[in-house]
Amino acid sequence: MPADKQQLVLRLRNCLQTILELEEALSCSHLGPALAEEMKTLRQAFSHIDGVRVVEDDVCRIEAATGKFLAEIQEPLGSGLQTRKDPLRLLQ
Q: What is the pLDDT of residues 33-57, one digit of tens each?
A: 888 888 999 999 888 888 888 899 9
Q: Give the rounded percent of residues in the chain with a pLDDT score beyond 90.
A: 39
For the chain, the domain total comes to: 1
Asked if residue 88 belongs to a domain, the reply is no
The 3-class secondary structure across 38-70, one letter per residue, is: HHHHHHHHHHCHHHCCCCHHHHHHHHHHHHHHH
Asked if residue 34 belongs to a domain, the reply is yes
Asked if residue 25 belongs to a domain, the reply is yes
Report the candidate in 66, 57, 52, 70 with the shortest Cα–Cα distance to residue 6.
52
Q: Please give the residue range of the domain that contains residue 25.
A: 3-82
Asked if residue 91 belongs to a domain, the reply is no
Report the candidate in 54, 41, 44, 47 with the shortest Cα–Cα distance to residue 9.
54
pTM of the model: 0.74
Asked if residue 92 belongs to a domain, the reply is no
Asked if residue 90 belongs to a domain, the reply is no
Q: In this structure, what DSSP letter does residue 84 have? A: -
For residues 70, 32, 35, 69, the Cα torsion angle rounded to the nearest 10 degrees is -10
